[in-house]
Amino acid sequence: MHEWIDRASQYTHNEKRFVDEIVAANESVIDVEMALTAWGERTSALRMDFVTLTHKSCEARITCWEAKLLSDARLVSETEPKVLRQIQSYKDFLNVQTHREHVKTAYCETCKLLVQFKGMAERCGHPGVVLPEAVTRAAKGTSDLTIHPGLHLVILNDSANGERANWSTHEAKLKQHGIDPIYFEVSDAHQRRLPENIA
């Protein structure tokens, strides 16, 4: 275990710590580093930063997220920020019906495993494990699993002067493409709650 931790620390940086803080603050997160199978012209798998499952009406909704630091060069460009191409690649993958079905099947199995792990924890003397309603319903098959058609962007404002230079211009480009970022401040490390009802 110590060897695994030492090895993992080699890949730790501020963006990864940001994602860890989001995971710690949101019980709706059911996966991190979601790998999308290489397809089309791609020879390697894309990875989404994290995935949430929330209950909405009679469905359990899978939502995919990308996390970035405000200092990340992929957020800005005089023409088109790289993050837009990145997000579009995710959307293109999920626009394929067979891909969506595979994702839903995989996360249904994930929910079943989480329920099993909860039972194991309780049998080992840890009765305080709480699973979101969306997870238990998906595990039992009482909620339809759906996939949010978009992909959400969360940004950690790690800029020393409060905001990146000319950020409003770059933000406008994101919004023109339907990306409305959610922002967190460095000082709020223990308050990384995601919106309850994301559109």
Does the residue 148 lie in any domain? yes
Q: Which long-range contacts (CB under 8 A, 24 or more apart) does 167-174 make?
A: 167/70, 170/75, 170/76, 170/77, 170/81, 173/77, 173/80, 173/81, 173/84, 174/75, 174/81, 174/83, 174/84
Domain that holds residue 72: 27-188
**Helix/strand number for the chain, H first, E second:** 6, 5
pLDDT tens digits, 120-136 = 999 999 988 889 999 99
Q: Which residues are within 8 A (CB) of 141 and not within 5 positions of it... i.e. 6 or more apart?
A: 108
19 neighbors 69 (Cβ within 8 angstroms): no
What is the count of structural domains for the chain? 1
At residue 159, the pLDDT reads 78
Measured from the Cβ of residue 92, the count of other Cβ atoms closer than 10 Å reads: 15
pLDDT tens digits, 108-120 = 999 999 999 999 9
Does the residue 7 lie in any domain? no
Does the residue 10 lie in any domain? no
pTM given for the model: 0.88
Does the residue 18 lie in any domain? no
- Of the pLDDT bands very low, low, confident and very high (cuts 50, 70, 90), residue 37 is confident
Does the residue 62 lie in any domain? yes
